[in-house]
């Protein structure tokens, strides 16, 4: 599971038709996983597959569902009212689509709220405003903020070399950019995100008072990207935020020019008590589910996560994954396909800052002795489906 954050607006996604393409791939995969082995495809199969395409191309509802989730409900971080609305909405969509079973799984989720955030950087005797986004789960700064000298590092390993002597009392600035030479940008993301995820506790180990991190994006712009981080209990918790790539370049250039660079940040974010929430599961029953009581049931699932970060629409991350999963089953229902295994579309809650929904699903699957043959999660954006990994 990657902790992702996409800033592409819904309109950009909608103009591509890629969600529709992904739905078709997903639908076909679900329909034939485990049902057609190494056998010759008949003419009937090709007519049936064509009927799935035709239905998708003439009766698609996924864009409307995505628009509702992103624009009528909006961002939906775990524990928020909007997250609860997304639960109710997807439940009702799957009921309306006449899935054989639709149910919720209770799960307690973290409830972090962003509050206000403000930052500035000073050099050459002047103060410049900096946009900052607290990292999800960060503690607040004192009300008057934290003001300290900035020390730039290219990664966690550099902290040990600098040691307590150089880091104590400072704001550590993680500034290793994403590698632009990887064709798969998720590789670049994956090799950079440790600065955000572990950075605060690693810096606290050496006495840092706060951390800022260069946003995880290739784009050079002035939009800071939030995302997850995790505190390690054995070190003090310090506030942490992301700054934009342009702000990161500016601060770095001034440090390299030998100037004294002082950063001030004020964050009022807060972790409230865990909140009740739900995964939402829609199911098309296997033909073995009726009339064959003692036949072991198998499951194939596809899914996305309902929650999203609180500073965007959550269209790519992961509204698209949710609506695709619902749509795949809806199409199969319309064309009258009865699967060999029970097929599920699962709307996982709390992928972004806790994974409580995914963990709960696994726990219940185990407890209920549900044999899962295959699970597919779509959470790398609504782009061209190029591979399953």
Using CB under 5 A as the binding rule, whether residue 310 contacts Zn ion is answered as no
> Taking contact as CB under 5 A, which single stretch among the options 42-50, 249-257, 311-319, 361-369 is the one that binds Zn ion?
311-319
For residue 321, which of 344, 354, 347, 351 has the smallest C-alpha distance? 347
β-partners of residue 344 are 283, 301
CB burial of residue 273 (10 Å; 0-12, 13-18, 19+):
exposed
CA distance 148 to 75: 33
> Taking contact as CB under 5 A, which single stretch among the options 127-135, 150-158, 182-190, 314-322 is the one that binds Zn ion?
314-322
Using CB under 5 A as the binding rule, whether residue 378 contacts Zn ion is answered as no
Between 238 and 280, CB nearer to Zn ion: 280
The token pair at 110 is: 């973290």
Using CB under 5 A as the binding rule, whether residue 80 contacts Zn ion is answered as no
Between 117 and 377, CB nearer to Zn ion: 377
Between 202 and 379, CB nearer to Zn ion: 379
Q: What order do you get walking across the sheet with 171-174 strand by strand?
A: 126-130, 117-123, 262-267, 146-153, 171-174, 210-214, 240-243, 132-134
CA distance 60 to 66: 11
Which of 10, 379, 381, 382 touches Zn ion (CB under 5 A)? 379
Instruction: Give the active site residues.
Output: 351
- For β-strands 240-243 and 132-134, DSSP reports them as antiparallel
Residues numbered 4-43 forming contacts with Zn ion, rule: CB under 5 A: 4
Between 177 and 381, CB nearer to Zn ion: 381
Using CB under 5 A as the binding rule, whether residue 318 contacts Zn ion is answered as yes
Between 32 and 383, CB nearer to Zn ion: 383
Residues numbered 256-285 forming contacts with Zn ion, rule: CB under 5 A: none
Using CB under 5 A as the binding rule, whether residue 317 contacts Zn ion is answered as yes
> Taking contact as CB under 5 A, which single stretch among the options 98-106, 269-277, 332-340, 378-386 is the one that binds Zn ion?
378-386
Distances (CA, A) of 343 to 4, 39, 86, 319: 27, 22, 21, 20
- Residues binding Zn ion (CB under 5 A): 4, 317-318, 379
């Amino acid at each position: 599971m990657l902790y992702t954050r996409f800033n592409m607006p819904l309109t950009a996604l909608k103009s591509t038709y890629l969600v529709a393409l992904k739905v078709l791939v997903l639908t076909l995969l679900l329909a034939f996983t485990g049902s057609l082995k190494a056998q010759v495809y008949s003419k009937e199969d090709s007519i049936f597959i064509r009927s799935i395409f035709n239905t998708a191309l003439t009766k698609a509802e996924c864009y409307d569902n995505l628009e509702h989730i992103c624009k009528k409900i909006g961002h939906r971080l775990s524990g928020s009212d909007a997250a609860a609305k997304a639960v109710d909405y997807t439940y009702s969509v799957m009921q309306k689509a006449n899935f054989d079973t639709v149910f919720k799984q209770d799960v307690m989720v973290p409830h972090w709220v962003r509050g206000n955030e403000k930052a500035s950087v000073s050099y050459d005797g002047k103060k410049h405003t900096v946009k900052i986004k607290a990292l999800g789960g960060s503690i607040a700064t004192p009300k008057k903020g934290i003001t300290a000298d900035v020390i730039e590092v290219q990664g966690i390993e550099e902290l040990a070399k600098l040691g307590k002597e150089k880091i104590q009392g400072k704001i550590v600035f993680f500034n290793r950019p994403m590698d632009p030479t990887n064709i798969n940008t998720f590789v670049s993301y994956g090799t950079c995100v440790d600065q955000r995820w572990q950075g605060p506790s690693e810096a606290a180990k050496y006495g840092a008072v706060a951390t800022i991190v260069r946003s995880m994006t290739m784009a050079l712009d002035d939009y800071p990207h939030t995302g997850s981080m995790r505190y390690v209990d054995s070190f003090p918790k310090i506030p942490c935020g992301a700054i934009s790539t342009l702000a990161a370049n500016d601060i770095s250039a001034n440090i390299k020019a030998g100037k004294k660079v002082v950063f001030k940040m004020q964050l009022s974010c807060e972790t409230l008590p865990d909140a009740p929430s739900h995964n939402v599961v829609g199911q098309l029953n296997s033909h073995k589910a009726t009339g064959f009581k003692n036949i072991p049931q198998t499951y194939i699932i596809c899914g996305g996560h309902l929650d999203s970060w609180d500073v965007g629409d959550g269209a790519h991350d992961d509204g698209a994954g949710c609506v695709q999963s619902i749509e795949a089953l809806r199409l199969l229902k319309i064309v009258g396909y009865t699967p060999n295994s029970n097929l599920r579309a699962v709307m996982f809650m709390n992928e972004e800052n806790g994974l409580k929904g995914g963990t709960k699903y696994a726990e219940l699957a185990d407890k209920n002795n549900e044999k899962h043959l295959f699970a597919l999660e779509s959470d790398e954006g609504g782009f061209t489906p190029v591979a399953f990994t």
